[in-house]
Amino acid sequence: MALYFSKDHEWVSVEGDIATIGITNHAQEQLGDVVFVELPEVGRTVTRGEESAVVESVKAASEIYAAVGGEVSEVNEAIVETPEKVNEDAEGSAWFFRLRLADKGELDDLMSREQYDAFLATLD
Amino acid sequence: MSDLRTTPLFALHQELGARMVPFAGWSMPVQYPAGIIAEHRQCREKAALFDVSHMGQLEIAGEGAAGRMETLVPADIQALAAGRARYTMLTAADGGILDDLIVTRTPDGLFVVVNAGCRDEDTAIIRKAMEPDFGVRELGGRALLALQGPMAADILERLCPSANGLAFMQSAELDVAGHACRVSRLGYTGEDGYEISVAVEAAEPLARILLDMDEVGPAGLGARDSLRLEAGLCLYGHDIDISTTPIEAGLRWTIGKRRIADRDFPGHERIIAEIHNGPDRRLVGLRPEGRAPVREGTEIQDGDGRIVGRVTSGAFSPTLGAPVAMAHVESANAATGTRLQAILRGKPVAAEVVKLPFVPHNYHRQEKA
């Protein structure tokens, strides 16, 4: 299972041609208390960079842009029911949605964990 | 970032792990590691300490200053007894609100607290009206701490036994843990509590004493905003501004009866006309359905899809576990119970007009004799 990161603070975990997408721990920390999540419909095809989900904290709303494109195969209803899970386990059980990758080549533009950590260090 | 002003508690905020943000030219804590919801609950259930030293504090000398202040605001300031505070607003000639503020009558003048964002403009307006007859002093050497919550009175009593003798909207110069302070029983959360004006040098020692108590936790601007919204209290620059009159904003109660009869405050023509005829639009509370917060700027439509208003403040209410908002809507759609729709990301979401506040106030009101 390969793990990738985007500059928009999403993680992408790939098994076969299925990618699981969530937001990073850094992203949930920046958001603060998450109170609302809206996910794409299963079956919708999203292209890379397309607005595909919404996450809102007490203070602000953020759009989630798909780090890779494909057809949405599954969404995590648990974080819609209990949005605070995103704060508790952003890089684990609080994944957002899964999609069937349209173009695996898009993964090449993402970062490894080490590269992402280095990227985070440049933000402060 | 280096040109931001810092309060005397800046080092303490950093030590506590606060996330600092720019706010009205100041570097202020938006939240601490506990997070906005935990800080919000801390205030509703126990007591929270806020640094509000960015707000402007002014002292105006002379008993006649109360009468002169009435050339700027529509409240009855002359009727205030010494040691009593009143919420009012600086009004413009067209009836718009220049800022909202708290005016306290002191034995020999006034003590005034204004918003950080309007500090310089307000000070200039007040100076122009007062000087040279009444001296205006900016209290740059004072910090302002707000201790808010149902346990605030018990806590402050330990450091200042007479503070609990104050009722809501009363104020006195008192000694708190050995520091000379002006203690006012009021706030911006809907809870019982105090604002404590204290010398800059004493601010951090006093804050540490308060934070060392088990019942007290620090709270930032994020919780301050969600608390005041639940309490239905207006935020200047959002729910009220130069284009809003006190009547539109539901602040009729702040206008003195004598002032209406005398018709002598800035903007009295429009404001008094709105008292008699009703304003064209009103500030209302909205409860949107579902969980999605409805944010400032969101358009509001009626059942026919006609735009009838706009959200001025919106957030997720930690107390209600649901979104709440305040909005300006046309008066015809402002009645409690009116079913409206908020346009959220292109989709209409049902929202009902409700009475403010969203969460009942818990003030320590003086018992009527």
DSSP, residue by residue, B175-226: EETTEEEEEES--SSSBSEEEEEEEHHHHHHHHHHHHTSTTEEE--HHHHHH
Tokens of B340: 């409206």
Is A104 contained in some domain? yes
The three state secondary structure string of B129-140 is HHCCCCCEEECC
Under 8 Å CB pairs connecting chains A and B tally to 42
β B179-184/B171-176 pair status: antiparallel
Query: What CA dihedral angle connects B74, B78, B83 and B86, to 10 degrees?
Result: -10
- Domains parsed from chain B with CATH numbers: 1-277 (3.30.1360.120), 280-354 (2.40.30.110)
Contacts of B30 in chain A (CB under 8 A): 59
Residues of A within 8 A of B316 (CB-CB) are 35-36, 56, 58
Query: Nearest CB to A56: which of B30, B37, B293?
Result: B293
Q: Hey, what are B183's tokens?
A: 């203690």
Q: Is residue A55 part of a domain?
A: yes
Record: contact A58-B316, CB cut-off 8 A: yes
**Residue B167 DSSP SS3:** coil
Q: Is B47 helix (H, G, I), strand (E, B) or coil?
A: strand
pLDDT in tens, B224-280: 999 999 999 999 999 999 999 999 999 999 999 999 999 999 999 999 999 999 999
Of A54, A58, A61, the CB nearest to B222: A58
Structural domain that includes position A44:
2-118
Of the pLDDT bands very low, low, confident and very high (cuts 50, 70, 90), residue B369 is: very low
pLDDT in the model for residue A1: 76
Residue B2, pLDDT score: 63
Residue A112 Cα, gap to closest chain B Cα (Å): 28
Residues of chain B positioned with their CB less than 8 A from the CB of A34 = none
Contact residues on chain A for B40, CB-CB shorter than 8 A: 58
The residue of chain B nearest to residue A28, with distances taken between CA atoms, is B35
CB atoms within 10 A of CB A51: 12
Q: What is the pLDDT of residues B46-63, one digit of tens each?
A: 999 999 999 999 999 999
CATH number of the domain encompassing residue A75: 2.40.50.100
Q: Determine, yes or no, domain membership for A123.
A: no
Q: Identity (one letter) of the amino acid at A1?
A: M
Nearest CA of chain A to the CA of B119: how many Å?
Answer: 25
| Domain presence at residue A47 | yes
| Residue B329 scores a pLDDT above 70 | yes
Q: What is the mean predicted confidence (pLDDT) over A12-36?
A: 96
- pLDDT tens for B288-301 read 999 999 999 999 99
Q: Which chain A residues touch B222 with a CB distance below 8 Å?
A: 32, 58-59
Q: CA-to-CA distance for B369 and A114, rounded, in angstroms?
A: 71
Confidence of residue A19 (pLDDT cuts 50, 70, 90): very high
Share of chain B above pLDDT 90, in %: 98
CA distance B316 to chain A (A): 5
Does residue A49 sit within a domain?
Answer: yes
Which positions in chain B touch A123 (Cβ < 8 Å)? Answer: none
* Residues of B in Cβ contact (< 8 Å) with A51: none
In chain A, what residues touch B36 (CB-CB under 8 Å)? 32-33, 57-59
- In this model, does residue B1 exceed pLDDT 80? no
Chain-wide mean pLDDT for chain B?
A: 97
Of B35, B292, B295, the CB nearest to A33: B35
Residue A96 lies in a domain: yes
Interface residues of chain A, partner chain B, Cβ below 8 Å: 32-33, 35-36, 38, 54, 56-59, 61, 83, 87
**Considering its fold, how many domains does chain A have in total?**
1
Scanning the structure block, which residue is given the tokens 């007009």?
Answer: B353
Residue B282: pLDDT band with limits 50, 70, 90: very high
Q: Rounded mean pLDDT of B72-76? A: 98
Nearest-Cα distance to chain B for A32, in Å, is 6
Position B306 confidence tier, pLDDT thresholds 50, 70, 90 = very high
CB proximity list for A97: less than 8 A, separation 6 or greater: A20, A21, A39, A40, A52, A53, A72, A74, A75, A76
Do residue B295 and residue A61 have CB atoms under 8 angstroms apart? Answer: yes
B147 pLDDT exceeds 60? Answer: yes
- Residue B309, number of CB atoms within 10 A of its CB: 24
Closest in A36, A54, A58 to B36, CB measured:
A58
Q: For strand A97-101 and strand A18-23, is the pairing parallel, antiparallel, or unpaired?
A: antiparallel
How many angstroms away from the CA of B154 is the closest CA of chain A? 30
Query: How is residue A115 annotated by DSSP?
Result: H
Chain B contacts to A (CB-CB under 8 A): 30-31, 35-38, 40, 222, 225-226, 291-293, 295, 315-316, 318, 323, 345
